[in-house]
Amino acid sequence: MPLITSIQKYSIHDGDGIRTTVFFKGCPLSCVWCHNPETQCYGKDVMYDRERCTGCQSCVNVCPQHAIHADGDKVVTDTDVCDRCGTCLDYCVNNLRELAGKEYTVEELVKELRKDEMFYEESGGGVTLSGGEVMTSDMDYVEKLVKKLHHMGITVTVDTCGFAPYENFRRILPYVDTFLYDIKVMDRELHKKYIGVDNELILKNLEQLSKDGARIYIRIPTVKEVNGTREQMQEIISYLDDKKIHVAQINLLPYHNTGAGKYGKLGQAYDGSGLHAPSSEEMDEFVILFQEAGYQNTKIGG
């Protein structure tokens, strides 16, 4: 059963209308700027706010695996020994520990998602499956989930990086209303450098999705040092034109580092500190570039 890190209600940036976004755990990419690092690993993670730790050592004394040790006036967790049982969460007097990753049966998840049906109906919204990368999750689970939502009349949007077997897309295509599909940069070497893999499979899947009639919103995380020039945006436009990708909307998403603080809680370093968003003037120029190329429904954010 896949793990869910969070269920975000009243989301207005993950597709049309007011949506409830489900964040699945596990991703095959390693984007330098990832703002959901707690979703990268497919297993559970214990997140710990070391900066606010008072050194009471309550967690040290109760850890069944003896994975937590004093480190000056703080504590440190040996992640190779920790089995993510969550015992320490109940004993942290300052509530500085949390477990990333929770199991829901499909029925439990649908029950939770239906609580917001009124908002979906009034706004033209629905449910968005995000991550991590939902398309590399347990596809029996995902297919059962999207089928149930579809048959209930709840629209389903899938936010994907595209790096998954195309058979996974084919299985759920009849039940998905929109794919939010990432294109990050066309240059393969830059893609490897900042994303961890090349983009061959991603582009191949996008082309097939378009041929199969999917409704596609292209989302471009826009990072000055990676793809934030007119030339690189033009490369994306030329690709979309050349492959005749059917694009319903283009969203340019300016880089942000709001997830940087999560890395410390996971005991990881954030490697995106040297990255920047293009200026607002540059972002406006990119929008005009796409619109002049015929992609009128291009916007910043969303």
HEC readout, the chain: CCEEEEEEEEECCCCCCCEEEEEECCCCCCCCCCCCHHHCCCCCEEEECHHHCCCCCHHHHHCCCCCEEEECCEEEECCCCCCCCCHHHHHCCCCCEEEECEECCHHHHHHHHHHHHHHHHHHCCEEEEECCCHHHCCHHHHHHHHHHHHHCCCEEEEEECCCCCHHHHHHHHHHCCEEEEECCCCCHHHHHHHHCCCCHHHHHHHHHHHHCCCCEEEEEEECCCCCCCHHHHHHHHHHHHHCCCCCCEEEEEECCCCCHHHHHHCCCCCCCCCCCCCCHHHHHHHHHHHHHCCCCCEEECC
pLDDT value for 73: 86
Residues 140 and 90 in one domain: no
* Residue 272 pLDDT: 86
| Residues 201 and 279 occupy one common structural domain | yes
| Last-in-domain residue among 62, 85, 100 | 100
50 to 68, 94, 100, 248: CA distances (angstroms): 12, 11, 16, 44
* pLDDT the model gives residue 280: 96
Give the per-residue pLDDT at 211.
Answer: 98
Please report the pLDDT score of residue 79 as a whole number.
85
CA distance 52 to 40: 24
CATH number at residue 154: 3.20.20.70
pLDDT (0 to 100) of residue 50: 86
Within this chain, do residues 109 and 25 fall inside the same structural domain, yes or no?
yes
Residue 94 and residue 110 in one domain: no
Indicate if 89 and 114 belong to the same structural domain.
no
Is residue 92 located within the same domain as residue 108? no
176 and 258 assigned to the same domain: yes
Same domain, 59 and 201: no
Same domain, 254 and 267: yes
Same domain, 35 and 153: yes
CATH of the domain at 77: 3.30.70.20
**pTM of the predicted structure, to 2 decimals:** 0.93
Strand order in the sheet with 178-182: 102-103, 3-11, 19-24, 126-130, 155-160, 178-182, 216-222, 249-254, 298-300
* Of the candidates 231, 147, 149, the residue with the CA atom closest to the CA atom of residue 186: 231
pLDDT less than 50: residues of the chain:
none
Number of domains in the chain: 2
Q: What is the pLDDT of residue 254?
A: 96
Same domain, 145 and 245: yes
Residue ending a domain, choose from 58, 82, 100: 100
Residues 79, 181, single domain; the answer is no
Q: State the residue range of the domain holding 55.
A: 45-100
83, two tokens: 């089995």
